[in-house]
Amino acid sequence: MAKDRDGKRSTAAPIYLDNAATTRPRGEVVDAMADAHLDAFGNPSSTHAFGAAARRLLQDAREFLRGSLGAQSLVFTSGGTEADVLALLGATAGKPPGRVLVGAADHAAVRSMKGALAQRRHELVEIPVDRHGDIEEEALFELMGKDVRAVSLLHGHNELGTIPRTAALAEVARQVAPDCHVHVDLVQAYGKIDFDLDLEGVDSVAVSGHKLHGPRGIGFLALSSKARVLPLWSGGGQEEGLRGGTENVAGAVGLACAAEHALSHLHEHAARMTDLLDELFEQLQEELPDIVRLGHPERRLPHVLSVRIPDCNGQALQEACAARGVAFSTGSACHEGHDAPNHVLQAIGLGRRRAREVVRFSVSPTTRFDEIDQAAAIILDEAERLRAMAPGDPRGAARRRT
């Protein structure tokens, strides 16, 4: 193991433990996209042979991805955020004024639609979550009413890893408001856990390619046979009239390639990632017995580990470890670089001080166990150093004098 300029141990090669933020595209994904760019460069709407070649690739990708979720139709988007927006704004467009329910700890892509919904005379209302970031059926039921036009659920929390009982929540929503649109943000979970749109009883699902070793700038919204969604803007009629503009054929090909690999190895990869994070947590807990694992203890994503290390500032720990070659996050990448309180950690009841002690590690199927060992050693080294410097720590005075 190499040393940095201060003589501390650093990794010989950088260790990436921030796969919930984005993933490195697989080599075959890049190759498939390059082939599509060069060999199928035609406009899919063109009627000649060049257009037909691009159209075939686009439709093959669409059919594979649609079938992977048991959906009736599928609209390609620029990513998960656009898919979320299209689902909720499109599903509520033209409906009488009402409410849209979203989890208090949901992704900013959903919660930030409050203003846009208000312009359409709909009110965004947050559903309280428990200390695991989970939505209980009772909490949803208390807020349900016949004026609820849509319910959005985060199936696989991006910061905590918690997986809700989506089917049960969808059933609660249907009992009170049979015509409400139930949307699921599946961005973190797709390709990592099993999910079937019909079995879960939902109307739409959002997915993003760069979360599963696919390309950036491509995602999709999968729709059930009952879903009724209006376009956000006019265009040339592409994507069944729901999203105008010349299609990103290479992106669709790359996303389908990444999804095919992830889904064909889903259970194998899930088991490996679970073992990787269990090993990391056990090593950290052995030296830091007061460390707290966040998220639901059983229903959680296999690749996300969120922890709170008391008396250790998460941002300082992240920066110190990054300087030594270990990359991870203090939470969602959407919160990085902002001083505003993290709404997720607020929603689960953490005060400002405790929220600052939270860090998130996220692995991929390509993460190695020796990388976990190296990362754990550096994280522990820096955490102990920072804890010793914390005000009120008896170790601090001695450490600060040296």
> If you ran DSSP here, which 8-state letter would residue 233 be given?
S
Structural Rg of the chain based on CA atoms: 22
Cα–Cα distance for residue pair 209/251, rounded to 1 Å: 8
H runs (alpha helix) in 297-365: 314-323, 343-347, 352-355
> If you ran DSSP here, which 8-state letter would residue 210 be given?
G
Q: Which of 218, 242, 217 is nearest to 232 (CA)?
A: 242
- Determine which helix (DSSP H) or strand (DSSP E) holds 139, and give its type and residue range: helix 137-143
Cα–Cα distance for residue pair 228/88, rounded to 1 Å: 11
Distances (CA, A) of 384 to 114, 161, 190, 357: 42, 26, 36, 13
Active site residue 257: no
Helix axis angle for 27-39 and 249-264, nearest 10°, is: 150
> If you ran DSSP here, which 8-state letter would residue 136 be given?
P
Q: Residue holding tokens 């990444």? A: 258
Cα–Cα distance for residue pair 173/188, rounded to 1 Å: 23
Catalytic residue among 180, 312, 321, 334: 334
CB atoms closer than 10 angstroms to residue 119: 8
Q: Which residues contact 241 (CB under 8 A, 6 or more apart)?
A: 231
210-231: string of b/e by CB count within 10 Å (b at 16+)? bbbbbbbbbbbbbbbeebebeb
Strand partners, 308: 292, 358
Q: Residue holding tokens 């009736």? A: 72
SS3 category, 126: strand
Q: Which residues are catalytic?
A: 334
